[in-house]
């Protein structure tokens, strides 16, 4: 009797490359047409590069601004799991956003995953949760405003009366 290995064998499989694009209406027949076609591709590649740079700058500014606004209030924002992309919904039970751009995910088995939303490959996640971030930002600001107004309302009459008492003592 021989023992066979229970572990599966692994093969290197090269995935098929699938290009989902509409081919040009006319086929390229001359070198001039090919040069024009490549010039168009080069121009579009440059536009993509510019857009990606702008996206990176906007994401950095987003988190710099968020940090400045929320630093006095909190260190993290709780993100509802339902606002995450679908592939996270089944395995994640908690999500918190650090103001510096890290999304902390806690899975059902209590493992922690940190996703840096400043990284280009994670910008899609940032876009998907931005609505939640803005809603939380509004709630935090509204709450702070309300608390500040309550303190002012409480202190205003007391301070006015205290000023009257102080004025009596300064008239002597």
Does any domain span residue 145?
Answer: yes
Does any domain span residue 7?
Answer: no
pLDDT digits (tens, 9 = 90+) for 82-136: 999 998 888 999 999 998 999 999 999 999 999 999 999 999 999 999 999 999 9
pLDDT digits (tens, 9 = 90+) for 23-51: 656 677 888 888 999 999 999 999 999 99
E strands, 4-161, where? Answer: 76-78, 92-98, 102-107, 112-116
Distance between CA atoms of 139 and 105, rounded to whole angstroms? 22
Number of domains in the chain: 1
DSSP state of 143: H
Q: Is the pTM of this model over 0.75?
A: no
3-class secondary-structure state, position 91: coil
Does any domain span residue 10?
Answer: no
Does any domain span residue 18?
Answer: no
Determine contact, residues 72/59, Cβ cutoff 8 Å.
no
Does any domain span residue 109?
Answer: yes
| Residue bearing the bigger pLDDT, 99 or 172 | 99
Please name every residue paired with 107 in a beta bridge, in sequence order, or none if there are none: 92
Tell me which residue range forms the domain holding 74: 32-170
- CA 107, 101, 131, 59 dihedral sign is negative
Does any domain span residue 13?
Answer: no
Q: Residue 132: which H helix or E strand, with range?
A: helix 123-170
Does any domain span residue 113?
Answer: yes
Does any domain span residue 89?
Answer: yes
């Amino acid at each position: 009797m021989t023992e066979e290995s229970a572990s599966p064998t692994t093969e290197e499989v090269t995935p098929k490359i699938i290009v989902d694009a509409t081919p040009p209406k006319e086929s390229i027949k001359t070198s001039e047409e090919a040069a024009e076609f490549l010039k168009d591709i080069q121009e579009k590649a440059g536009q993509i590069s510019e857009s990606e740079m702008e996206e990176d700058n906007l994401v950095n500014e987003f988190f710099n601004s968020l940090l400045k606004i929320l630093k006095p209030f909190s260190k993290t924002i709780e993100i509802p799991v339902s606002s995450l992309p679908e592939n996270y919904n089944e395995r994640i039970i908690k999500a918190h956003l650090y103001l510096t751009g890290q999304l902390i995910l806690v899975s059902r088995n209590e493992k922690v995953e940190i996703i840096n939303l400043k990284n280009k490959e994670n910008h899609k996640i940032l876009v998907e949760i931005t609505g939640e971030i803005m809603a939380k930002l509004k709630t935090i600001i509204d709450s702070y405003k309300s608390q500040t107004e309550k303190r002012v309302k409480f202190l205003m009459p007391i301070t006015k009366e205290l000023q009257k008492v102080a004025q009596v003592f300064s008239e002597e």
